[in-house]
Amino acid sequence: MAATSSEAGSRPSGRGGGGAAAAYFFAGVLLLINGILGILQGASAVSKDKVYLATARYLYQFDLTGWGWVQIGLGIAASLVGAGLLAHQGWARWAGVVIAALSLVGQFLWLPYYPFWAIVVMGIDLFIIWGLTRPTPYRDF
């Protein structure tokens, strides 16, 4: 039996679907928000705010002010790449994966200073990586 025109249009194309496009868009939004929060997190560390715990013994111990500047830099990069993702820029997809991976490692190192928030952001970073590495229906990637 031959397929009618309405049936032919409903078949999956094999190039990804609405779910992949939604995950890509949501990853872009999360990366943009993650970047803004990283800037605020870094600014709080640079100003020596009393938000962060002081740990006596931790293998990856850093100066809080210096680490705050690293967070600010990662936050700015994440915000720019997140905006690029939302504008469907081809370079932003893999740059987003790299920035999210760097953020994930950075949050692991930040773990003793603010454990709950670091774990939450690590989960967000993993979702960003997952969303950006899925096949999407966009041809420019």
For 42-94, the pLDDT digits (tens) are 888 888 766 665 666 655 566 778 888 888 999 999 999 999 999 988 899 99
Domain ranges of the chain: 17-53+69-133
3-class state of residue 10 by DSSP: coil
Buried b (16+ CB within 10 A) or exposed e, 103-125: bbebbebbbbbbeebbeebbebb
d(CA 33, CA 17): 25
The residue count of the chain comes to: 141
In this predicted structure, the answer to whether residue 9 has a pLDDT above a threshold of 70 is no
pLDDT of residue 7: 46
3-class state of residue 74 by DSSP: helix
pLDDT of residue 74: 94
pLDDT of residue 66: 81
